[in-house]
Each structure stands twice: as C-alpha cells, then as structure tokens.
Amino acid sequence: MRAVDIIMRKRDGKELSREELRFLISGYVAGEIPDYQISAWAMAVFFQGMSAAETASLTEVMLHSGAVMDLSGVTGPLVDKHSTGGVGDKTSLILAPIAASLGIKDPMMSGRALGHTGGTLDKLDSIPGYRTSLSAAEFKHILITDGFAMTGQTADIVPADRLLYALRDVSGTVESIPLITASILSKKAAEGAQALVLDVKYGSGAFMKNPADAEKLARSLVDTWRAMGKPIAALLTDMDEPLGKMTGNFLEVEECYDCLAPEAATSHASLSADLMEVTLELAARMAVLGGKAANAAEGRALCEQALASGKPRELFMTNIASQGGDVEQFLSMRGNYRSPHRAEIAAAADGYIARIDAWKTGHAGVVLGVGRNRTEDPVSPTAGIEFHRKRGAAVKKGDPIMTVWGKDQASLEAALPRLAEAVEYSPAAPAERKLILKEIG
C-alpha cells in the first residue's frame, strides 16, 4: 500500500477498508507516514465523510494503536457516560455513584478543560490528595471495590487519538463528524466500557451550536458504536446556558456533593434542578443499558430511590478516600475554599432573567482561571462563579445575580464585564427551558 493512493481514494469518495485505515494510522503512530499526508487524508474525510462501517473500522484501528484496559474479572455490567462538553457540566461526578449504587460498574476515563468547557479531572484535582493518574491495576481495583473509578488517559492508551487530535486542531478538520466519533469512541472502548450513554449538547456553550448538527454527531456515534457490536443511547441536551448553580473546579465538586443529598432527587426549586434533571435522565439510561431497568421511566425511579437512600453520597466519599483524597479536609473546605479576589454581578434592569449565555460565561471562566486556552496552562481550584438567580427569575435592578471569584485581581476585573454582558433581560418571563430535546438509540 501507499499512503498517497489511500488519500486519493478517499478524496474521490471511496470507502476505505480496515486494512487501508490500519496502514495509515499505524504508519502515522510509528512515524513512517508524515503529518502532511495524514492532514491531506483528514481533509478528504472532512469533505467526503465516512460510512458507519468505515467509521467503526477507524475507531477500532485507533483503539488498538496502543494499550487497552484489561477489565477481565470485573463483574459487570460496565456502562459509562460521555458528554460532548459544556459550562457547569458536572453530571459525571453525580451519576457515577448513582449508577454504582445500582450495581453498575462505571470505568470513567476523563479529560481536562480546554477552552470554555470544563474538565472532570481539573475538578477532581481540587480535592486535597485526590489522584486522577491511576495505574491500570489501581483503576481496576477501585472499579471493583467502589463501583466506579476516575482516571485520565495515559500515554499508552490510544496514542493515535492524541496525535490526530493535535493535527486536526491545526489543519482545519476539528469539526469532521467521523473523526470526532472515532476520537470519542476509541477512548471509551479502550477504558473497557461495554455500553455507553451519550450526552450530546447543543447551544452557545456546546461544540455543536444547533440541534441539527448535534443530532448528526449523535447518530454517527450511535451507529458506529452499534457497528462495533455494543449497546448505546444518546440524549440531545441544551447547553445554551450554564448547568447548575456553580461553575469552577472546587465549586462544582461542592455542588455535586450537595446534589447527592437524599432530598436532591425531588427538589425542583433548587438552582441545581436543571443539573439534576439531566443527570437523572442520563443515569436512567445507564440503568437500562446495565440491565437494571426495562425502560427509562423505571430507571429514573430506581435512581431517585437510590439517591433517597443516601448510598450514592456514601460511595462518592468512599471514592475520594480510595483515590487518595482527604475526606475530612474536603468536608471542612465546603463553603470556604474560595479565592480572596471576589466581586458581585447585580441585575442591570428590572424584569426577568431571559438567559445567561453559556459561551460568554465559559469564556469569562477561562479569564477567571477556571479553564485554559492551552493544554499546559494551569487552572485555579478556587476561581469560579456561583449563580444566585437564573433564567426565569424576576429581578429588580441591583439584585445579586452571581458571585464571582478570580485567580487574581486582574483576572477578576477582566472577567466582570463579560459576565455582565452574558446576562440577558426581558420584561416578561421567558418560556420554560427544554433541557432534553430527544433521545437517539
């Protein structure tokens, strides 16, 4: 085989075989095929697309470009959840202990913040002593004992994805749905997931800005995972506004702990109600795919019963200890672990809050120190935002909307105008926000 022939076949809209894809990807990982040829192939994929079978072949070739988690001996079902990213999206930290309380094992390999979207590992790193770099043996042991484990992608897991991700970023092919699909699913398969629940987001704070594009991505993910012989479900969810009442690293962990309180399942007045609605619907699908419920309604009821029992919160705390965290110190930090650089955003007019723009809020968060623009940038555990009022709230000019903490005074002052601009007002109450648009799969 020659790389140029494969590139030309894809350029002309032909479907590539698994052997051709293996030749390209293994050659690239080995340093035998140069960046410029893989860039040309990626651009051909961008314009010509891939069939579900072709995307599944690419996913499996990427999966086997490095090590795969050996979870033999772990009594399943092994079900994970993946989100395409958003602002205030912390559902993983709540649903993993809920699923574990039902007897489902959740092997969770997560990422870090990049751009305006938050990273699960950065949130967990804000817990004193908590380790997100686990050996394969540690990951497996904690998964068995706690029912879920949280780790990052190691250097030997799907190396093809790290190389391709960096190349897509500089070659104008980031938005290619087949390449996004293979990137997500190769990592999920490598971590050992047998079934998968997807939270595919749309809106200003999401990667896909409109429902139609989000649905295209969701259908590609569903069709590809099924072509690999695995069960899957996907929800299209709204990310036009931040999820929950906190954005930040420790702030979001703190909110997750509060959301695991027994009364959280039935509390609809809380500013975390939107977060809990999305979390419980995702957890309900995990219950179905894990064989614990016949349908989503039954799964949701099981998850609410589990929350009411207090067991998920106990598992959350057990996992903190299992991964090296200091439980007592974490509890003592609740409500106190904040940057000294603090300010308030007040309502600019009488009326109702019509919307708090997620994209503007997320980018203000990067300025505050919550996220990063480059992978090597540090993040602040104590920066973030607490919302006191959200969409639909009636306000008078001067009412507090949010409290803001920055990593330093300059960051705080730079972020405040962006956050003020993110809040939109209307003279009448806005329509109720539809959090979940539809289910696919």
Could you confirm whether 161 is annotated as catalytic? yes
Residue type, 185: L
Alpha-carbon span 162 to 183, nearest angstrom: 9
187 is catalytic: yes
Q: How far apart are CA 251 and CA 243, in angstroms?
A: 13
- For residue 245, the Cα-to-chain-centroid distance in whole angstroms is 17
User: Active site residue: 22, 105, 140, 187, which one?
Assistant: 187
Nearest alpha-carbon partner for 306 in 350, 260, 371, 357: 260
Q: Strands of 246-248's sheet, edge to edge?
A: 246-248, 384-387, 400-406, 341-346
Active site residue 168: yes
How large is the C-alpha radius of gyration of the chain?
Answer: 22
Whether 82 sits among the annotated catalytic residues: the reply is yes
Using alpha carbons, select from 314, 286, 313 the residue that is nearest to residue 299. Answer: 286
Give all strands (DSSP E) within 207-264, no chain letters. 232-238, 246-248
Beta bridge partners of 108: 150
Which entry of 80, 106, 146, 161 is annotated as an active-site residue? 161
Task: Give the number of other Cβ atoms within 10 Å of residue 172's Cβ.
Answer: 12
Catalytic residue among 22, 82, 188, 360: 82
The strands making up 195-202's β-sheet, listed across from edge to edge, are 79-83, 195-202, 232-238, 436-440
Active site residue 183: yes
Catalytic residue among 57, 101, 183, 380: 183
Q: Which residues are catalytic?
A: 82, 161, 168, 183, 187
